[in-house]
């Protein structure tokens, strides 16, 4: 399955961005994060839930502390890896520092059991 990709220009430390809504059960298998900028750092949290106005369930406790500007950071182990049908997957950011020109995110999902 092709990754769902997201590019955010000059992201702040307080964004909430929908990535996708699952039509069927999906399994999260990998997340890649890359930053562009000068000494950039940001905390990224992927969340799952049926309602974007709620807090949702964090897929990796503590989130992903991203700061890599060359090869990116890859995460393949998650506390919650199942995205149920009719649920949203979204990105929340916090604790941004340095000069962040862009954040690149690739989320790899596989079909889950029905």
Question: Which pLDDT value is given to residue 41?
Answer: 97
- CA proximity to 74, closest of 99, 42, 36, 108: 108
- CA proximity to 103, closest of 10, 2, 5: 10
Question: Which pLDDT value is given to residue 1?
Answer: 67
Three-state helix/strand/coil letters over 16-76: EEEEEECCCCEEEEEEEEEEEEEEEEEEEEEEEECCCCCCCEECCCCCEEECCCCCCEEEC
- Distances 90 to 24, 39, 45 between C-alpha atoms, Å: 16, 25, 8
Question: Which pLDDT value is given to residue 17?
Answer: 96
2, pLDDT greater than 90: no
Q: What is the pLDDT of residues 65-109, one digit of tens each?
A: 999 999 999 999 999 999 999 999 999 999 999 999 999 999 999
Domains belonging to the chain, first-starting first, are: 4-111 (2.60.120)
Q: What is the pLDDT of residues 17-71, one digit of tens each?
A: 999 999 999 999 999 999 999 999 999 999 999 999 999 999 999 999 999 999 9
């Amino acid at each position: 399955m092709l990754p769902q990709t997201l590019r955010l220009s000059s992201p702040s430390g307080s964004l909430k961005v929908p990535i996708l809504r699952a039509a069927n059960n999906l399994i999260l298998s990998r997340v890649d994060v890359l930053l562009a900028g000068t000494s950039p750092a940001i905390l990224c949290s992927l969340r799952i839930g049926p309602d974007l106005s709620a807090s949702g369930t964090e897929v990796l406790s503590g989130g992903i502390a991203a700061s890599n500007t060359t090869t990116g950071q890859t995460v393949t182990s998650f506390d919650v890896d199942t995205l149920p049908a009719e649920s949203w997957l979204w990105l929340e950011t916090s604790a941004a520092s340095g000069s962040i020109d862009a954040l690149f995110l690739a989320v790899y999902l596989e079909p889950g059991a029905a």
